[in-house]
Amino acid sequence: MTSILIPTRFTDGTIQNAQLSYDEDSERCFLALLLHQTPFSAEATDYFEALAQIRVQLERNQIQLLCYGASRCVYPSGMGRDMGQGLRAYKLKLGQYARTIDLVDIFTSGPDVEPATVSEQHACYEQWLTSIQDRAKQSQ
């Protein structure tokens, strides 16, 4: 079992760490988050989806995780979700194909994390997909 601290931001702007636990060697993708002695948990086919489920629970209380897995334009590839349990995702740039250099660990934080809701993150992914399709059409 791996435990890490993830910064969280509350509506008043305060930032506090939450403890996230997961087992990378397990076939099931179960996440447990402990914030102020309040447990949140989720199980899914990959860790990115499990993290999204926890984020939805936190969104009800207007709490945001400050990690790449909760950043606006960060999203895993289908292969990354299937083969890598969704533990890594790409920082997406509109009109540009994702590159290996753009891969980040979904549970880490960085200065370029842009917190977003699950729906905002998915909308950015959809916008990126459209921009890639448009780019492909232009090059034909």
Structural domain spans, the chain: 2-138
Give the model's pLDDT for residue 1.
86
pTM for the model: 0.93
Residue 35, Ramachandran bin (φ over 0: left; ψ between -120 and 50: alpha; else beta): beta
Give the model's pLDDT for residue 140.
62
Give the model's pLDDT for residue 28.
86
Amino acid (one-letter) located at 123 = A
Cα Dmax for the chain: 56
Residues of the chain with pLDDT under 70: 134-137, 139-140
